Amino acid sequence: MSKNLLISAALIVLLACGLLTAAAPSLWKQITDSHHVNDLAQHIANFDLPAGYEPDYAVELLGYTVVAYRGTDEYAHLSFLQAPPGVIPNDAALEGYIPDDRAKTRWNEPTLVRTEQRTIRDQVATLTVSDRTNSEGRRYRSLNLVFQGREGTALIVINQPVSSWDENQIETFIASIH
């Protein structure tokens, strides 16, 4: 009896894996074409990309959109995340620390630099800036801006080494969001 149960369970698992594999292309779409990445970002909000950033990739999954830009150095990153209409991302996403099991770098706890309210797209938005150090001892500054995007709650995350943080460039970028 237990042998038949084990075989049945294995067949169900294999069938589920097959169905997930077949359905995956319609659930997950990763884009690396620069023009398409920029187009998807504009579905979240219009903005002027800061100098020194270029499209990296975008992902659409179950109504969520993630658009990522990389700096000309390997350390700067700017990302947009937009949740589907009516969905409020959890605290971890709003803080900008979305777990990535592939990452080898570990981070210490962030130190809050400042939190303030801004007006983005004619609505109140929350901006948080924090510093943290990675396992290699490099200090980073992280800006998280939660606002109402075109199609749902949106989050912008900017991570850069503290040594290359340009407050004027960041403020110009934030002012360009509409």
The answer to whether residue 16 sits within a structural domain is: no
Structure tokens at 79: 């990302």
Higher-pLDDT residue of 125, 106 = 125
The answer to whether residue 65 sits within a structural domain is: yes
Q: What is the structure's pLDDT at 100?
A: 46
Q: What is the pLDDT of residues 5-37, one digit of tens each?
A: 445 444 454 444 444 444 455 556 788 899 999
Its domain, for residue 145, covers 29-176
Structure tokens at 102: 């592939």
pTM of the model: 0.76
Number of domains comprising the chain = 1
Q: Which amino acid is at 23?
A: A
Q: What is the pLDDT of residues 52-98, one digit of tens each?
A: 999 999 998 888 899 999 998 889 999 999 988 877 665 555 554 44
| Alpha carbon distance 42, 122 (integer Å) | 17
Q: What is the structure's pLDDT at 153?
A: 92
Quick one: pLDDT band at residue 102, thresholds 50, 70, 90?
very low
| Alpha carbon distance 165, 169 (integer Å) | 9
